């Protein structure tokens, strides 16, 4: 980790790139990584959030503010909401021909993407398995017919299509 430090007064901007409970890894606008905590007991920080950070020690800092989000992905149930990611611009939904994928999960991902105006791409992996791939491709053609890009790859052979 390489970060600038000047008596705890260094304030800079960055993006949250990892969340570990109440600890966050922030990549600063200068490309440095800082291990940060949030001031007070506030929560609700997500990967992708843009923040203002105050450096407190070499390689460490405190998150002062979170900038307004452009998008927010979360999951929820009757009791609580769990933030997944913020400021997402594209979702890639990877499914495989074998084992069979969940059409419900694909639909849920697409609904989440649409609700936040996020571009979604569906990737069909394991195209080296000819018969299962044809069955999956036929099923996924519905999504392709309504405008979702469908990329077919074999991760073992070639992923250049991505």
Question: How far is 50 from 85, CA to CA, in rounded Å?
Answer: 11
Q: Which of 71, 87, 103 is the last residue of a domain?
A: 87
Domain contains 160: no
Work out the average pLDDT over 12-16: 95
For the chain, how many structural domains are there in total? 2
Identify whether 161 is part of a domain: no
- Domain end marker among 87, 102, 121: 87
CATH of the domain at 2: 2.40.50.140
Q: What is the pLDDT of residue 94?
A: 95
User: What CATH code is carried by the domain that includes residue 104?
Assistant: 3.40.50.300
Question: Quick one: 136 and 57 in the same domain?
Answer: no
Provide the pLDDT for residue 41. Answer: 67
State the pLDDT confidence band at 70, using cuts at 50, 70 and 90.
very high
Which residue range is the domain that position 65 belongs to? 1-87
Tokens of 108: 């849920």
Q: Looking at the domain assignment, is residue 159 inside a domain?
A: no
Q: Of 161, 143, 144, whose CA–CA distance to 152 is shortest? A: 161
Q: pLDDT band at 3, cuts 50/70/90?
A: very low
Same domain, 146 and 97: yes
pLDDT value at position 63? 93
Given a cut of 90, whether residue 8 has pLDDT beyond it is no
Cα atoms found within 13 Å of the Cα of residue 99, Cβ hemisphere only: 1
In this structure, are 93 and 68 located in the same domain? no
- Confidence band, pLDDT 50/70/90 cuts, at residue 9: low
Q: Which of 65, 39, 51 is nearest to 13 (CA)?
A: 51
Residues 13 and 70 in one domain: yes
Condensed to tens digits (0 to 9), the pLDDT of residues 37-60 reads 988 767 788 999 999 999 999 999
The better pLDDT of the pair 141, 78 is held by: 141
Q: Report yes or no on whether pTM surpasses 0.75.
A: yes
pLDDT of the residue at 79: 85
pLDDT digits (tens, 9 = 90+) for 86-132: 999 999 999 998 888 899 999 999 999 999 999 999 999 988 887 77
Do 5 and 77 lie in one domain? The reply is yes
Q: What is the pLDDT of residues 131-159, one digit of tens each?
A: 777 888 889 999 999 999 999 998 888 88
Q: DSSP of the chain, one letter per residue?
A: -----STT--EEEEEEEEEETTEEEEEETTS-EEEEEESTT-----BT-EEEEEEEETTEEEEEEEPPPS-EEEEE-SS-EEEEEES--EEEEEEESSSPP-HHHHHHHHHHHHHTT-EEEEEEE-TTSHHHHHHHHHHHHHHHHTT--EEE-BTTTB-TT-
Do 6 and 67 fall within a single domain?
yes
pLDDT number for residue 135 = 85
């Amino acid at each position: 980790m390489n970060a600038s430090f000047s008596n705890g007064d260094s304030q800079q901007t960055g993006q949250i790139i990892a969340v570990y409970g109440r600890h966050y890894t922030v990549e600063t606008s200068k490309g440095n990584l800082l291990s940060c905590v949030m001031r007070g007991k506030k929560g609700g920080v997500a990967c992708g959030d843009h923040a203002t950070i105050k450096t407190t020690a070499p390689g460490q800092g405190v998150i002062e503010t979170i900038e307004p989000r452009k998008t927010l992905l979360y999951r929820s149930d009757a009791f609580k909401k769990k933030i997944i990611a913020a400021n997402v611009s594209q979702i890639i939904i990877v499914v495989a021909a074998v084992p069979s994928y969940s059409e419900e999960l694909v639909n849920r991902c697409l609904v989440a993407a649409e609700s936040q105006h996020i571009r979604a791409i569906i990737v069909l992996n394991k195209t080296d398995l000819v018969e299962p791939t044809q069955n999956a491709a036929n099923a996924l053609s519905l999504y392709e017919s309504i405008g979702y890009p469908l990329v077919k790859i074999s991760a073992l052979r070639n992923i250049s299509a991505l």
